[in-house]
Structure 1
Amino acid sequence: MRNPFFPLFVFLGLVLLEIFGFAWVGDAVGAMMTVVLVIVTAAAGLMLFRLQGFYHWRRLQQSLARGEVPARGLVEGWLLMAAAVLLLLPGFFTDAAGFVLLIPPLRRWAADGILRRGMVRARTAGSGGAQGSDTIEGEFRRHDDGSETRDERLDRDDRR
């Protein structure tokens, strides 16, 4: 059985790791330089994210134009957004993780791993849902509450 406090412990562990990173880098290069490094890595990461994002968006459009389902491309897009969030968070370990996700071969490897594990499922467009599923798409109206639909009112008015 999984501990319900596990996410809290992971979050606190990451915060402590970042505090340790700030202390270690601050001790090595000074407090002001540590702040400058955090700002520079965030700015550089955002510039790289922007460039990678445009390139990635173009690749997605090309695969859609060819009629392909860009499952890996969509997962890579989510990983790019995660990289941007990691780069915006102050800290050296989150910056390192964000920069790793900006490296295209590593991002592709991570996306393939996510798809292989079945964390995300790809469906073809126009299938109306997964085959064999109990999902039925459609519309419904409740008639037992005594209210009339617009069509019923028009029919009643036409009969008069």
Structure 2
Amino acid sequence: MEKEFVSLIKKNESIILKICNIYCKEIEDRQDLHQDILVQLWKSFPNFDKRSKITTWMYRIALNTAVSRYRKEKKVPIKEAISERLVSDSSNDDENVRLLYLAIEGLNKIEKAITMLYLDGIKYKEIGEIMGLSESNVGFKINQIKSKLREKLKIDML
């Protein structure tokens, strides 16, 4: 079981890293959250029933851990400066990408999670499974998020 778990983590660690980058500003906090997520995944692994995809299960555990930690640490502001971390983590200097990340910065924690999943190409049904929402609710929320981002980008570009 341990070898299977380690293999699973190595194969899908980018999921954990993305979530840590979205929810934590400081590197020490990202490392702590990474550890917390690994612990929760390990504790939950024996109960994984394989009815959903492994990535869906990982996203759900990781996001729940991040959101729970976020709620406990009331010192973290709602608007995190994720744009600098995400843009600095990529070599893409495209101004449109930078503006998009700046707009994403203004979203709340749930909207950020949905946006991350959507940008990762996850289907609405799977986003719903991860976030505990219906597929139609996911579609509705994504449309709301797109509207917010369009409005924010329109304002920023003036």
Report the TM-score when normalising by structure 2.
0.27
Structure holding more helix per residue? 2
Larger Rg: 1
TM-score scaled to structure 1, two decimals? 0.26
